[in-house]
Chains A and B, each alone.
Chain A
Amino acid sequence: MAGIQFQSIRKIFGKTIAANDVSLEIKNGEFMVLLGPSGCGKTTLLRCLAGLERVDGGRVFIGDRDVTDLAPRDRKIAMVFQSYAVFPHLTVFDNIAFGLQMQNRPRDEIKRRVEESARMLELSDYLKRYPAQLSGGQRQRVAVARAIVMQAAVLLMDEPLSNLDALLRLQMRAELKRLHSDIKATTIYVTHDQVEALSLGDRIAVMQNGRIVQCDAPMNIYDYPANKFVGGFIGTPPMNFLPGVVRVNDGKPVAVVGESQIAPSAALASALSAKNGQPILLGIRPENLALAPSQQANTIRARVRVVEPLGSHKLLTMQVGSEISKVSVAPDQRVAPDEDVWLHFDPEKIRWMDAASGEAISSIV
């Protein structure tokens, strides 16, 4: 078992900087998710760790070994590929056994370990089949089995669920989580699906344009996005951002949004006081907005545009001034389209952001 360290990893493809001095430390046994939109550099970072790409700068450590210049086969890693890369000319057994055979392990050990992995992934009945005779989900399991059978210190997964249909994906997600809790290998998991990231990761590193913009536990990332990008990328529907202007009245800052005023939490008051007159963004998740019967503190006038009953909740599309906001309310909330309502902001849940940079304003200046 081993931790992983990326030190200032730089990787350039032509004019594109895929990894721009990325540093990241992953603890032994941790499940780290690299999350970001396509082209953000998350897969590149993973491939640099696997040795499938040579870095243009920086060092990669697995445990205390500097593996930067090692071939993939010498890095003691296992990997699940997005396309699975299950060898079509080998049976399921031989596919799972491939890595062990390359290590020239004794035959009975190979057999024992392959069967064990196959059992873990419910493949025992398919060992003699060829991949073409399996379903997509089964092939994906073979790819996972082939990786975990190695009992490698580091397990890499490159969007392993992206080729599965929604239901299978849900199922495999839970299985992967269970597997990780069983084998406890340090795992790096690349995905663009924020739900997978939230559900699987011990921590999530959100990437954008070759940089890690935030790396934290899933709920911290959800509740306290570091900037507008993270807030917008994570959560369905994403965080709402309402523009306003800071005004300090008698030393107390408020955000003026339209005709209303929203007050910050006490912790932020001093940081915002310095921004008198500056534009600001109020980031707030749909579930942290509520309908108020009348105008009160921290409410804004809004008009209901669309009502979508989604079973567990109702999703409302509201017009606030010229902005559109999503609001999640209880399923029994009585509300109709074109109704004018008051929206209440929970001050503790507002993420205040600088309108120009999109960066969150923290309580520590």
Chain B
Amino acid sequence: MRVRSESILPYGLLAPTLIFIVLLIVVPIFQAFLLAFQTAEGEFTLIQFQKMLADTSFADAMKFTFLLLMFIVPAQVVLALIMALLIHTRFKGHTLFLYIYALPLAISDLASGIVWLSIFTERGFLNSILFQLGFLERPFLFLSYQNLPAMFGTIVVAESWRATAIVMVILLAGLQVIPRDYFEAADVFGANTLKRTLFVVLPLLRPSLQNALIIRTIFAFQTFAVVLALAGRVIPVLAGESYNWYALNRNANIAAAYATLVLIFTVIATVIYFRLLRTTAAEAGFD
């Protein structure tokens, strides 16, 4: 009896989470799947995917989604790592920096898109400052469709600002879990900051790095509000197309097809990360 109740307990504790996940996440995902494979009349079809593939924006959306991924994810992980390591040194006033770094977490992505739009637009803050300082004779058009690299650059900057914080928080949490003794041992045995970071911190941080990469990549696949605000239809992304089809074109089926595609890519990316950053049982864990 006693054994039984003990074996039920963990499931009981997990139950609320599981019910929450099933009701609010698994069921909608399933419904989205259904939508993607249905006609408006509810019959099974692949027409939604055909329509998606034939969509004018599809190829561009694929291209830009992956380009964005390639720029944003490494940039953010490196930035976040530097920020987390800095905070972890617990220099004077590090909590203030932590708050400043974490601030974008509290801002919705659409709001941050609008903020960055007001920075990068022709008469925006950036141009005004550069103009006042005499660097520019006339405003520079960051957001011109004729200057895609600049436009793309603004997205990378805005997205990095918005979502680096979450990566930083994950890495900082990971750093704080590592017993300080390891860092001290590295110090005592002659490692300088760089060597300590490379040979001790990063290997020990690998589980957190894995999580950060997965979450960040998922976020990158989901990115669209900032892109929409800064680049409109010029730089389409997969998640943005899903939103457009649902919210603007009111076609939930094609939106679901896009969403399904994003889901597939996300799962693939997650599997790849798990494979690449796998820690063997022997290496895993501290004492």
Contact = CB atoms under 8 A, between A and B. Distances in A.
A83 B179 contact: yes
Contacts of A62: none
Given A85-B179, A99-B190, A79 B185 contact: yes
B276 interface: no
Interface stretch (B24-32, B158-166, B262-270, B278-286): B278-286
A80 B52 CA distance: 63
A89 B181 contact: no
A72 B204 contact: no
B287 interface: yes
A93 interface: no
A242 B200 CA distance: 56
A85 B185 contact: yes
A204 interface: no
Given A81-B184, A83-B179, A89-B204, A99 B189 contact: yes
Contacts of B190: 73, 99, 102-103
B55 interface: no
Contacts of B191: 73, 98, 102
Contacts of B181: 81-85
A87 B189 CA distance: 12
Interface in A90-141: 90, 98-99, 102-103, 129-133, 139
B184 A72 contact: yes
A102 B189 contact: yes
Contacts of A266: none
Interface residues of A, number: 32
A139 B286 CA distance: 12
Of the listed residues B179, B190, B203, B285, the one surrounded by the most CB atoms of chain A closer than 10 A to its CB is B190
Interface string B197-209: 0011001101000
A155 to B, nearest CB: 11
Nearest to B279: A89
Interface string A148-159: 001000001000
B195 interface: yes
Contact of B192 (A52, A73, A81, A131): A73
Contacts of B189: 73, 78-79, 98-99, 102, 146, 150
Given A73-B190, A99-B190, A132 B184 contact: no
Interface string A303-323: 000000000000000000000
A81 to B, nearest CB: 5
Contacts of A71: 187
Nearest to A76: B190
A210 interface: no
Interface string B243-286: 00000000000000000000000000000000000011111111
A51 interface: yes
Interface in B175-191: 179, 181-182, 184-191
A82 B280 CA distance: 26
Interface residues of B, number: 27
A71 B282 CA distance: 32
Contact of B203 (A51, A85, A89, A150): A89
Nearest to A83: B181
A88 B204 contact: yes
A247 B204 CA distance: 69
Interface string A60-86: 000000000001110001110111111
A137 to B, nearest CB: 13
Contacts of B179: 83, 85
B188 A132 contact: no
Nearest to B200: A87
Contacts of B286: 88
Contacts of A50: 184, 188
B282 A130 contact: yes
A132 B285 CA distance: 8
A202 B186 CA distance: 29
Contact of A132 (B192, B200, B204, B281): B281
B284 A73 contact: no
Contacts of A129: 282
A121 to B, nearest CB: 17
A73 B282 CA distance: 29
Contacts of A99: 189-190
Contacts of A73: 187-192
A73 B187 CA distance: 6
Contact of A88 (B186, B192, B284): B284
Nearest to B286: A88
Contacts of A102: 189-191, 195
- Report the 10 A-B pairs with minimum CB-CB distance, sorted nearest first: A99-B189, A85-B181, A102-B190, A130-B282, A85-B185, A89-B203, A72-B187, A73-B190, A79-B188, A72-B188
Interface of A: 50-52, 71-73, 77-79, 81-90, 98-99, 102-103, 129-133, 139, 146, 150, 156
Given A79-B189, A87-B182, A87-B200, 11 more contacts: A51-B188, A81-B184, A84-B287, A85-B179, A86-B287, A88-B285, A89-B279, A89-B283, A131-B287, A132-B285, A133-B282
11 contacts: A50-B184, A73-B187, A78-B188, A79-B185, A81-B181, A81-B184, A84-B181, A87-B204, A88-B204, A88-B285, A102-B189
